[in-house]
Amino acid sequence: MMQLSLRLRLLLAALGLFVVGLAVGWQTAVDGPDASGLKPPRDEWSEPAAHGADTAKLVKDLDQHSLWGEGGAAASGPSDADKAAAEAKAAAEWRLSGIVVEDGKSWAVILTPGVGKAPPHAQSSKIGDALPDGSKLVAIAKTAITVADAKGQRQVKMFLPN
Our CA dihedral for 65, 71, 77, 79, rounded to 10 degrees, sits at: -140
In a domain, residue 57? The reply is no
Q: Is residue 105 part of a domain?
A: yes
In a domain, 104, yes or no: yes
pLDDT tens column, 71-125: 544 445 567 777 777 666 665 688 888 999 888 889 999 888 776 677 788 888 9
**pLDDT at 129 (0 to 100):** 92
Within-domain flag for 129: yes
Q: Report whether pLDDT(7) > 90.
A: yes
Task: Determine contact, residues 67/59, Cβ cutoff 8 Å.
Answer: no
Q: How many CA atoms lie within 13 A of 89 on its CB side?
A: 9
DSSP 120: P
Domain count, the chain: 1
* Domain encompassing residue 114: 95-157
Q: Above pLDDT 90, what percent of the chain?
A: 27
Whether 29 is in a domain gets the answer no
Lowest mean pLDDT among 27-31, 62-66, 106-110, 140-144: 62-66
3-state secondary structure of 121: strand
Is 26 inside a domain boundary? no
What pLDDT does residue 35 have?
Answer: 80
Tally of helices (H runs) and strands (E runs) in the chain: 3, 6
* Angle at the Cα of 161 from the Cα atoms of 158 and 162, rounded to 5 degrees: 90
Instruction: Evaluate whether residue 51 is within a structural domain.
Output: no
Would residue 23 count as lying in a domain? no
Each residue of 12-48: b (16+ CB within 10 Å) or e?
eeeeeeeeeeeeeeeeeeeeeeeeeeeeeeeeeeeee
